[in-house]
Amino acid sequence: MTDIRDILRFYADAGADEALLDQPVNRFVEAESAPRRMSAPEEAMRPDGNSAPPPARNAPAAPPPRATQPTAAVPDEAQAARARELARQAGSLEELREILDGFDGCNLKFTAKQTVFADGDPEADVMFVGEAPGRDEDIAGLPFVGRSGQLLDRMLSAIGLDRTGAYIANVIAWRPPGNRTPTPLETEICRPFIERQIELANPKVLVTLGGPSAKVLLHATEGVLRLRGNWKTHTTAAGTVIPAMPTLHPAYLLRNPAHKKLAWRDFLEIKAKLIEIRG
């Protein structure tokens, strides 16, 4: 007989880690003719704009939208342009955090609990950038606090660093629902914010964690296994060139522990670069 724990484990593994309603809903007694209302993320993915289609003739009136649920914005080019403009306006990291908190142009924001901006010391010589927050980060409001964050902490400590000596952020500041991969447009909307964050933090060394971060920040086209371990550069909008090391994502290393030796080599490179830079 299937244990209820097996079913819950199955759901958790599939990424369904939240109950959406306080009360259970018996779908079998719902009127079959009632049109299905789109969830906020589904509405957000509509290709044609912000509004749902007009109700069919004679269809029951749609329930009023829940007051507490903001309408999700559609990720489109206009939002990417707005993000670029807003990010440019930020004169400090604090201003950038406030702008991100108030930005409603990325639908990921409406399913996330909060904005995950950064952890560590923004004055640090080295900045690490991952892909997007997961469940633990969404709850804590800080990047890399879950299992992969704990591995990152151990990797930092192996080269004599901790979060007081590093600045840590993500390309995307909101947890994608169920940890799904962010869409290219969502990434494009978030790109100006992380680029400005790097520019304002102005680290001496940038480390991209995983393929998506390298793709966005280093314009990399190869796979991360080929890319990692080779110094690249990230150029800010103002033209500052920052040495950048692409390395493997800690979550990948948790799944592929045999590749930790590759990340170890990359971290030794980072350590050597920091020693060289500090003179």
Q: Which stretch binds ligand URA (CB under 6 A): 9-17, 37-45, 83-91, 140-148?
A: 140-148
Nearer residue to ligand URA within complex by CB, 107 or 208: 208
- 41, two tokens: 């993320």
User: Is 210 within 8 Å of 256 (Cβ atoms)?
Assistant: no
* 144 touches ligand URA (CB under 6 A): yes
Among 75, 105, 120, 143, binds ligand URA (CB under 6 A): 143
Q: Which stretch binds ligand URA (CB under 6 A): 22-30, 82-90, 131-139, 266-274?
A: 131-139
User: Is 17 within 8 Å of 135 (Cβ atoms)?
Assistant: yes
Nearer residue to ligand URA within complex by CB, 143 or 203: 143
Compute the least distance from the CB of residue 169 to ligand URA, in Å.
8
Nearer residue to ligand URA within complex by CB, 74 or 168: 168
User: Is 125 within 8 Å of 132 (Cβ atoms)?
Assistant: no
Nearer residue to ligand URA within complex by CB, 146 or 192: 146
* 148 touches ligand URA (CB under 6 A): yes
Helix (H, G, I), strand (E, B) or coil at 266: helix
- Which positions ≥6 away from 33 have C-beta within 8 Å? 60
Among 75, 105, 120, 130, binds ligand URA (CB under 6 A): 130
Q: Which stretch binds ligand URA (CB under 6 A): 12-20, 95-103, 107-115, 146-154?
A: 146-154
Q: Which stretch binds ligand URA (CB under 6 A): 41-49, 127-135, 238-246, 259-267?
A: 127-135
* 133 touches ligand URA (CB under 6 A): yes
Packed helices 77-89 and 184-201: angle between N→C axes, nearest 10 degrees: 10
* Dihedrals phi, psi of 277, to nearest 5 degrees: -65, -40
User: Is 269 within 8 Å of 231 (Cβ atoms)?
Assistant: yes
Among 79, 107, 115, 170, binds ligand URA (CB under 6 A): 170
> H-type helices in 141-183, by residue range?
147-158
* 251 touches ligand URA (CB under 6 A): yes
Compute the least distance from the CB of residue 148 to ligand URA, in Å.
5
Element (H, E) at 258: none
Can you list the pairs that 98-105 forms with residues at least 24 positions away whose Cβ atoms lie under 8 Å? 99/193, 100/173, 100/193, 103/193, 104/70, 104/73, 105/73, 105/75, 105/79, 105/189
**Residues in touch with ligand URA (CB under 6 A):** 130-134, 137, 143-144, 146, 148-149, 170, 251
